[in-house]
Amino acid sequence: MTELAFFSRKKTTGAYSIGQIFEIVAAAVARYRPIIQHELPRPSNSVFNLLRNILATRNNAVFGVNHVTGDAHYVVLGVNRGRVVLTIHDCVLLARTPSSRFKYHLYKWLWYKWPIRKADIVTAISEKSKAEIVHHTGCPPEKIKVVPNCVNPVYHYDPQPFRTEYPRILQIGVAPHKNLHRIVAALQGIRCVLEIVGELNHEQRTMLDASGIQYENRAHLSLEELAGRYRAADVVVFASLYEGFGMPIIEAQATGRPVVTSNIEPMPWVAGEEGACFVNPTDVQSIRSGILRVIHDTDFREQLVREGQVNVQRFSVERIARKYNEVYNSLYPNAQPAIKETHPIT
């Protein structure tokens, strides 16, 4: 009989993508096999906290399958029993850090190469993430299985009349790679309300105030509040420069909102061939043209919503749970599930 333990990073305000996704996956996987869920005790922001998290993982590792669900990859080094599955969402720590800096090499070895070597199976959330892992770490491609993220059922289909004359445009994220400055430039002169989720800095507020665009800013939203912002929107714009996956795409599709997103991977893979309006994220005019087409072309807009509804079924909770269960079964193909057990991490 095999036990299954999930190890997830310490929750932080606004960290929707990893922790909440795997809470849903865990509940679905529990229909196949019992599962023990652990939240790491510390954020990964100091040497002491890293060691504390590694020790906590060592103390709570099981003789079955230990699944480290992302971000805190280094805790794999604390697993001293059983098999290890490591989920890597992206290689952004390496992509954004100059290779000449010490921090780059710290990330490369402690977050990626050593944990990958110790893991029995690595899962990536997209084909693009898999390719990046292979590129940055030299991990054999056959060791990596692609298991996408799932869409949270809180994002449900909610059709609303489209406000052509004054649409509400939703932008998720304010980090530099979310490309807010180009989106603002693309919206110049378009009658709309731009709603931005994420805490704006002073420079971004100054830019928005000078743009003349009517905007609203919300931060530190609960999951239910965030889902409500999708329902309140007419269009979701996600012209990101870098993603491991791109959760806002499938969240918008599930809600029934047209998406304008980047034509670089993994966005087309996630959105589906006809599930979004694809634009060049480095070209302001391309972003603008895409937004205007969605606003004014009713047939195109409705097609995007229909295709999005079909595409998002690829990311249902049940489908993704089955994929993870297949990964676990591959480690112990002849074993039976263990007796269900739950306890807090210490």
Q: What is the pLDDT of residues 268-324, one digit of tens each?
A: 999 999 999 999 999 999 999 999 999 999 999 999 999 999 999 999 999 999 999
The tokens describing 274, both together, are 């006809």
Residue 172 has pLDDT above 70, yes or no: yes
Asked if 176 and 240 touch (Cβ cutoff 8 Å), the reply is no
Pick from 38, 25, 134: which is nearest to 79 by CA? 38
Residue 14 has pLDDT above 60, yes or no: no
**By percentage, how much of the chain surpasses pLDDT 90?**
88
Q: Architecture of 168-314 per CATH?
A: 3-Layer(aba) Sandwich (3.40)
Q: Predicted confidence band at 96 (pLDDT cuts at 50, 70, 90)? A: confident
Residue 341 has pLDDT above 60, yes or no: no
Pick from 181, 179, 233: which is nearest to 208 by CA? 181
Residue 7 has pLDDT above 90, yes or no: yes
pLDDT at residue 335, rounded to an integer: 65
Pick from 90, 92, 10: which is nearest to 44 by CA? 10
Residue 339 has pLDDT above 50, yes or no: no
* pLDDT, mean of residues 85-109: 94
Asked if 78 and 57 touch (Cβ cutoff 8 Å), the reply is yes
Q: What is the pLDDT of residues 111-137, one digit of tens each?
A: 999 999 999 999 999 999 999 999 999
Q: How far is CA 49 from CA 10, 13, 55, 67, 343, in A?
A: 11, 18, 10, 20, 21
Q: Predicted confidence band at 344 (pLDDT cuts at 50, 70, 90)? A: very low
Q: Do domains 4-150+317-331 and 168-314 have the same CATH topology?
A: yes
Positive or negative: CA dihedral 58, 40, 20, 133: negative
Residue 93 burial (C-beta neighbours within 10 Å; 0-12, 13-18, 19+): middle
Pick from 191, 181, 174, 185: which is nearest to 234 by CA? 191
A 10 A CB-CB count for 326 gives: 12
Q: Predicted confidence band at 342 (pLDDT cuts at 50, 70, 90)? A: very low
Q: Strands 65-68, 83-88: parallel, antiparallel or unpaired by DSSP?
A: parallel
Residue 16 has pLDDT above 60, yes or no: no
Q: Predicted confidence band at 336 (pLDDT cuts at 50, 70, 90)? A: low
pLDDT at residue 70, rounded to an integer: 83
pLDDT at residue 338, rounded to an integer: 45
Which helix (H) or strand (E) element contains residue 144? strand 144-146
CATH fold of 4-150+317-331, please?
Rossmann fold (3.40.50)
Residue spans per domain, the chain: 4-150+317-331, 168-314
- SS3 string, 194-251, reads EEEECCCCHHHHHHHHHHCCEEEEECCCCHHHHHHHHHHCCEEEECCCCCCCCHHHHH
What's the mean pLDDT when you consider all of the chain? Answer: 94
Task: Flag the least confident range among 19-23, 65-69, 105-109, 281-285.
Answer: 19-23
